[in-house]
Amino acid sequence: MRKTARSLVRILARTFAGVAIIVAVPAATRAADPAAAGATGNALVDSSGSDHAPTPADTVLVVLPAVVVSGEPPVVAASGRTELGPAELARLDAPSLAAVGSALPSTRVAVNSRGDALPMVRGAPERHVQTYLDGIPLNVPWDERVDLETVPAIAVGAAVGTRGPVTLLDGPGTLAGSLRLLPAVLTGEGSATTVRAAGGGDGLGRAEARHLLRAGSWSVLGAASRQTRDSWPLPEDGPARESSDLEQWSLLMRGSRRVRDGGQLSLIATGWTGAKGVPAEMQVSADDARYWRYPVRERALVGAALTLPLDERGDWDLGAAASADFFHQEIDPRGPGGWGAPLEAGQSFEKNWDRTGYGRLRLGRSVGDHGTLVLQGSARYTHHRESLEAGGPILAYAQWLSSLACEVETRPGPPWTVRAGLGWDHAATPESGDKPGNPAGDAVAVDLRVARDLGPQAGAYVALGRRSRYPSLRETYSGALGRFAPNFGLRPERNDQVEIGARLDAAATSLSVAAFYGRLSDGIERIVLPDGRYQRVNRGEIRVPGVELIGAWRPLAGVEVRLQHTILDARVHGGGAEGPAEDRAAYLSLAGIAWERAVGPGALVEARATGPRWSADTTSESGLRRLPAGVVWSLRLAWTFGASQAPLGLHVRVDNVFDQRVDDQTGLPGPGRVVSGGAEFSL
C-alpha cells in the first residue's frame, strides 16, 4: 500500500504540473464567452448529421449545443465506423478498455505471452491499431501497442471504433483501424455523481466513483477507480491460473469550456498505477516458461485540445492538440521463488522509463455548402530508457514519428460523396542505445472513398487506401530478456486495402456488409530460431481477403438483437514462406439479445465465436500451432430501482457460462467461468 500511495503521489504531481503548464499556455481562454453552451448527455452523435463544420479524427471532444461531435469528418454510415453509447457500455460492466474493445465488430482482444491484452481488428496485428483517450494517443511508442487491461474505463461516455481505410487523419501506423474513448459529459446544469461496485470469486473486485459538475463556464469531470483480482480460473474446472493477479488504482480529471463562438477548449489529466502477473505458457516446461510479473506499472498523461473558428461565418477553423505521456514499468522474470526477493547485482530485472510528447495542428476550410478541406500535421517524439539487469547500464533510445495529411470531401451531386486524401509519413531514430541506428524513412499515404446514397435509408461505397508502419523501437532492438533475437534490418510494413460495402438503416433494422482485400508488403511476423528464441522478420506479402456482416434488429421497445460475422483467409506469400498468417482467426462471430428497461428487469445473452487460427509455438517444428475454434457465452441479469433522477441498478453476470477453453495464443487459455455481481447508484 505504501508503494501504491507513493506511485499515486508521483502521478498526481506529474498530472498537476502538466495541467498547470497547459492551462498557462492557451491565451484563447481569456477571450472565452462566459455563457457556455449547454452540455450534452452521454450520447454520441455521428457528425454526419451535424450542420457544424467538421473536425478531424484526432480532435478532443467538441461540445456544441445538443450534440457531441466525435472529432471525425462526416462520413456515411457504411464507412466502417461503430459507436458504443452509454447503454452498450453499461452492459459490459467493463473495468478496463479490454472489454470495450472486444465489443466492437471484427475486433478480437487477446492476451499475449507478456500478459498484455491487445486489440486485433479484422485479424490484423495489434500494432496496426491506434488507441486514443480523449484525443491522447495511448499506444506506448516503445512497443507501438497498449495493454488494454491497464487502461481504465472510468468516466467513459462513448467509444468509437473504425475499421479499414477510413481516414488519413487517424495518424501514421493506423493500418487496420482505431479505437477512441470519449469521456462522459454532463446533461444540463448542476452536478451528477455515479458510484459503482462489483465483485466475484478469486478476489475479483472493482470500485468506481465519477462526478460531473458545472463550475461557471467550465464543465468538469473527476473519476477514480480501483480494481483487483487474485487470479483467473482455468477453464474446464481447472485450478486458479498461476500469476494472473492484478491490482490497479486510476484517476481522471477533465475540464472543457466554450471559447469564442463555437470553439472548444479541453484539458485532461489521467494516471494509473498497479502491479500485474503474467501467466506462463502452458505448452512448455517449467524451465522454458516465461515466469514474469510486473511489480510496477504506472502511467500519467496530460493533454489539451483547442478548436477555434477563424471567421464569423465559420468557413475556417483551427484545431490544435498537445499531450505529454510518462510511462514506467518493471519486469521481474525470476519466477515465483524469486518475486519480491532483494535484487542482487547482475540478476535479470528490466526497468523501463518512457517520456513522450505529441502535438497536432489542423486547419479546416468549408468549401461551398457540402465540401470540406483539412490540412493536418502531427509529430510524436519518444525517449525510452531501459536497464536489463540489476546494477547494469541504462541504455537510451529515441524516435521521431511525424506526418502531414490533406483530405478533401465533397458532394459533386446529390447522391454522391467523394473523399480523397494524400499524406506523407516520416520516421527517424536519433538514439539506438548500444546498437546500430536505423536510417530515416519516408512513405506516401493515400486514400479514396466514393459513396452513393441509395435512398434515405440506404447507401453503398467503395474505398481504397495505402498506409505504412515503421517498426517500433522494441521490435527492432529489444531482446525481451532473452526471449527474442533483435533484427536491426527490420523494414517498414506497407498495407494496400480496397473495400466495397453497403448499408441499410430501417426503423427497426440496420444492416451493413463489406467485402475487403488487404495486401501487407513486408509484413512483420515472428519466427522461431534454432536456439528456441523468437525473431521478428519481414514476410514477402500477407494477403487478407474477407467479408464482414453487421446487423441489429429491434422488434420491441427495449429489445435488441445483434449479429456480427467476419470471415478472413490470411495467407503469407513469398519471402521464403508460404502458409497461414500468425494469430489471424478464420472467422469472428457474435450473436446476442439484450432486453433493457428504464426501471425494472433487464437481461443480456451473448455468444462470441473465434475461428481456428495458427499461433507461434517454440515446441513445433514449423514454429506454428493450429488452435481450434471456440465459443464463449455470457449472461447478464439486471434490475433497476427507483426514479430516473436517482436510480439504483443491480446486476449479476456469468462470463464463459459453459466453462469452455479458448486459447488467446498457444498455451494461453482465456479465463474459465467467472461469476460476478455489482451495483450502481446515481444522484
Using DSSP's 3-state secondary structure scheme, residue 545 falls into strand
Q: 106 is written with which cell numbers?
A: 471484427
Pick the CATH number of 2-682 from 2.40.160.40, 1.10.760.10, 2.30.42.10, 2.40.170.20: 2.40.170.20
Residues pairing with 408 in the sheet: 373, 420
- The DSSP secondary-structure symbol of 45 reads B
The torsion defined by the Cα of 29, 31, 35 and 40, in degrees rounded to 10, comes to -40
Residues 556-565: what's their mean pLDDT?
94
Rounded to an integer, what is the distance from CA 504 to the centroid of its chain?
27
Residues 409-430: what's their mean pLDDT?
93
Confidence grade of residue 683 (pLDDT, cut at 50, 70, 90) = confident
Which tens digit of pLDDT belongs to each residue from 476-519?
A: 999 888 889 999 999 999 999 999 999 999 889 999 999 999 99
Residues 86-94: what's their mean pLDDT?
89
Cα–Cα dist 425/419, whole Å: 20
Beta strands of 244-337 (E only): which ranges? Answer: 246-259, 263-278, 292-309, 316-332
What pLDDT, on the 0 to 100 scale, is given for residue 590? 96
Q: 588 and 563 in contact (C-beta within 8 Å)?
A: no
Q: 169 and 217 in contact (C-beta within 8 Å)?
A: no
Residues 44-52: what's their mean pLDDT?
30
Which tens digit of pLDDT belongs to each residue from 266-308?
A: 999 999 999 999 999 998 887 788 889 999 999 999 999 999 9
What pLDDT, on the 0 to 100 scale, is given for residue 79? 65
| DSSP sequence for 65-108 | TTEEE-SS----TTSSEEEE-HHHHHHHT-SBHHHHHHTSTTEE
Share of the chain above pLDDT 70, in %: 88
Q: 212 is written with which cell numbers?
A: 460531473
What pLDDT, on the 0 to 100 scale, is given for residue 312? 80
Residues 8-12: what's their mean pLDDT?
42
Confidence grade of residue 369 (pLDDT, cut at 50, 70, 90) = confident
Q: What is the mean pLDDT of the chain?
A: 86
Residue 5 has pLDDT above 90, yes or no: no
The identity of residue 293, as a single letter, is R
Cα–Cα dist 54/40, whole Å: 18
Residue 67 or residue 259, greater confidence: 259
What pLDDT, on the 0 to 100 scale, is given for residue 480? 86
Residue 87 or residue 680, greater confidence: 680
**Whose grid coordinates read 506511485?**
7
- Return the minimum-mean-pLDDT range out of 36-50, 337-351, 525-539: 36-50
What pLDDT, on the 0 to 100 scale, is given for residue 260? 81
What pLDDT, on the 0 to 100 scale, is given for residue 644? 63
Which tens digit of pLDDT belongs to each residue from 227-245?
A: 999 999 999 888 899 999 9
Residue 33 has pLDDT above 70, yes or no: no
